[in-house]
Structure 1
Amino acid sequence: MIEPRIVEEMRRIVDKYVTEPDLNELLKTFIQDKAAEGSQWSNITRYTHYMLGGDSPRIDLAAAMTEIILLSFDIIDDLQDGDNKEKPWIVCSHAFTLNGILAFLFSFMTEVSVLQESNGQAPLLMEKLGAILSQSINGQQIDLNDSISSESDYLTMIEKKSGSLLRFACSMGYLLIPDLDQRTIHTMDQLANYIGMISQLDNDIRDVLRFDVKNDLLQKKRTLPVLFLLMEKDEHFPYIQQYYNGQLTYNEFVLRKRECIHYIEDSGCIEYCKIIQSLHTDQANQLFESLPGLSPWKEKFKGITFAKQIQEVG
Structure 2
Amino acid sequence: MEDHVSLIKQEMRSLATTYLTDGSMLEYANCFIEHKFTEPMKFGPLTVLHYDMFGGKGKAVYLAASSIELFVLASDILDDLQDQDAPQQPWSRAPLPVALHLAASFMTLSQQAIAACGEEPAIVLRTMEMMNRQLLTAANGQMADILDAVIDEESYFDVVKKKSAALLVLACMTGVMLSGRSWHAGVAEYALELGIAAQIENDRRDLLRWDEKSDFLQRKKTALTLYLLEDLGEKDRWVADYYEGRLPASSIEGRENDFSELCERSGAMLYGAALFNLHFNRFMELLAGVPEAARRSDDILRLVAGRTNQVETPQ
User: What per-residue deviation string (whole Å, max 9, x for no partner) do you get for residues 185-211 of structure 1?
Assistant: 110011111111000000000100111
1:255 offset after TM fit, Å? 3.2
State whether residues 17 and 26 of structure 2, in contact with CA within 8 Å, keep that contact through their aligned partners in structure 1: yes
Partner residue of 2:87 out of 68, 85, 88 = 85
State whether residues 165 and 194 of structure 2, in contact with CA within 8 Å, keep that contact through their aligned partners in structure 1: yes
User: What per-residue deviation string (whole Å, max 9, x for no partner) do you get for residues 83-137 of structure 1?
Assistant: 2211111111111111111211112222322237436324422221111011111
Give the Cα separation in 1 of the matches to 2:187 and 2:302.
16
Output aligned runs, 1:1-314, within 5 Å.
Answer: 3-115=5-117, 117-118=119-120, 120-178=122-180, 180=181, 185-293=184-292, 297-305=296-304
1:289 offset after TM fit, Å? 0.3
Q: Which of 52-61 and 32-41 deviates more?
A: 52-61
Give the 3 Å change call, closer, same or farther, for CA 193–116 of structure 1 in structure 2: farther
**Unmatched 5+ residue regions in structure 1?**
310-314
Q: Which amino acid aligns with 1:147?
A: A
Give the 3 Å change call, closer, same or farther, for CA 163–224 of structure 1 in structure 2: same
Q: CA RMSD in A?
A: 2.0
Give the Cα separation in 2 of the matches to 1:298 and 1:57.
22
For these two proteins, the number of residue pairs brought into alignment is 306
Q: Which amino acid aligns with 2:75?
A: F
Give the Cα separation in 1 of the matches to 2:102 and 2:306.
35
The alignment partner of 2:14 has SS state of helix
Correspondence for 1:312: none
Query: After TM superposition, which residue ranges in structure 1, 4 or more long, deviate above 3 angstroms?
Result: 294-298, 306-309
The alignment partner of 2:58 has SS state of coil
Give the 3 Å change call, closer, same or farther, for CA 62–181 of structure 1 in structure 2: closer
Q: Which amino acid aligns with 1:217?
A: F
The alignment partner of 2:233 has SS state of coil
Q: Which of 215-224 and 275-284 deviates more?
A: 275-284
Q: Which amino acid aligns with 1:268?
A: G
Give the 3 Å change call, closer, same or farther, for CA 138–291 of structure 1 in structure 2: same
State whether residues 172 and 187 of structure 2, in contact with CA within 8 Å, keep that contact through their aligned partners in structure 1: yes
Give the Cα separation in 1 of the matches to 2:169 and 2:294.
21
1:254 offset after TM fit, Å? 2.8
**Unmatched 5+ residue regions in structure 2?**
309-315
Give the Cα separation in 1 of the matches to 2:182 and 2:123.
13
